[in-house]
């Protein structure tokens, strides 16, 4: 891979300051390092990513990001940093910033959310390579196989009765069938997503009609303190290349 190709692949790590579930979640310590640092390290260890940008609305988070080797060339506007802001908001803001300030927009934006910290950089590279080989794909999303089919789930009506989610299914009491009777379903997990700038900037969509499904390992996302505590256990028992990189290059807090 040439330097020119690498500079066309940017990791963007979204890390806004607000978080209702876990306050200041993105810089909360995980085994002695800010949560954000794990995604930065994974991007730096990738052979395919040429640049690592953290998109944040917080000066405090920006300082932490720089300390661990990421760029913070802008602060994200408040409109892109609310609880209801979509991925498209911060991705489009970063792309437009690159076009306006730098005069060119990298084509591939590897979205690494800090809330999925335990990644293998080699798997990130696998996803990038798969996407580069599929010019017809409008985006890439990762997901792991759902072990319990949602086609067997229920919703509850106002009277308190359960009913299946697939009323059109002709099989009597289809929800009692074994999992193998239903299509495989994948849980989006934030392990690695990739946006194609030329598609995004020419449409109102983020993923588009040809979203390539990259099957990733099952992973834990941080939305609660309990999940953060479980990740502490995972890091302590399993380690991994990202944690090894952090311990070799940065002091624990």
Whether 92 and 193 map to the same domain: the answer is yes
Q: What is the pLDDT of residue 221?
A: 86
Q: Which range marks the domain in which residue 166 is found?
A: 150-181
Whether 227 and 175 map to the same domain: the answer is no
Whether 172 and 86 map to the same domain: the answer is no
Whether 161 and 36 map to the same domain: the answer is no
Q: What is the pLDDT of residue 122?
A: 97
CATH code at position 32:
3.90.550.10
* Residue 27 three-state SS: helix
Residue 5 has pLDDT above 80, yes or no: no
Q: What is the pLDDT of residue 109?
A: 98
CB atoms within 10 A of CB 4: 8
Whether 155 and 130 map to the same domain: the answer is no
Whether 89 and 116 map to the same domain: the answer is yes
The C-alpha atoms of residue 17 and residue 30 are separated, in whole angstroms, by 17
Indicate the pTM of the whole model: 0.89
Residue linked to tokens 């792309």: 95
What mean pLDDT is predicted for residues 1-25? 72
Average pLDDT for the chain: 91
Whether 133 and 157 map to the same domain: the answer is no
Residue 7 confidence class, pLDDT cut points 50, 70, 90:
low
DSSP 120-160: -HHHHHHHHHHHHT-TT-SEEEEEEE-SS-GGG-EEE-TTS
The count of C-alpha atoms lying within 13 angstroms of the C-alpha of 189, restricted to the half-sphere facing its C-beta, is 22
Number of domains in the chain: 2
Per-residue model confidence as pLDDT tens digits over 96-133: 999 999 999 999 999 999 999 999 999 999 999 999 99
């Amino acid at each position: 891979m040439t330097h020119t190709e690498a500079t066309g692949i940017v990791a963007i790590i979204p890390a806004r300051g607000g978080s209702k579930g876990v306050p200041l979640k993105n810089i909360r310590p995980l085994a002695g390092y800010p949560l954000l640092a794990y995604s930065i390290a994974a991007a730096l260890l990738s052979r395919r990513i040429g640049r690592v940008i953290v998109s944040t609305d917080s000066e405090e988070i920006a300082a932490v990001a720089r300390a661990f080797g990421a760029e913070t060339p802008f602060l994200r506007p408040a409109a892109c940093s609310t609880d209801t802001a979509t991925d498209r908001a911060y991705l489009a803001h970063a792309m437009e910033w690159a076009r306006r300030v730098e005069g060119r927009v990298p084509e591939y934006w590897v979205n690494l959310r800090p809330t999925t910290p335990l990644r293998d950089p080699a798997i990130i590279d696998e996803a990038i390579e798969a996407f580069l080989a599929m010019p017809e794909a409008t985006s890439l999303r990762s997901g792991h196989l759902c072990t319990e089919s949602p086609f067997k789930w229920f919703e509850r009506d106002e009277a308190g009765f359960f009913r299946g989610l697939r009323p059109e299914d002709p099989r009597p009491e289809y929800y009692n069938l074994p999992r193998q009777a239903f299509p495989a379903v994948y849980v989006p997990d934030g392990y690695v997503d990739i946006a194609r700038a030329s598609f995004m900037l020419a449409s109102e969509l983020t993923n588009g009609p040809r979203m390539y499904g990259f099957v990733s390992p099952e992973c834990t996302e941080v939305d609660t303190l309990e999940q953060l505590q479980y990740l502490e256990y995972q890091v302590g028992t399993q380690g991994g290349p990202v944690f090894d990189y952090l311990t070799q290059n940065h002091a624990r807090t």
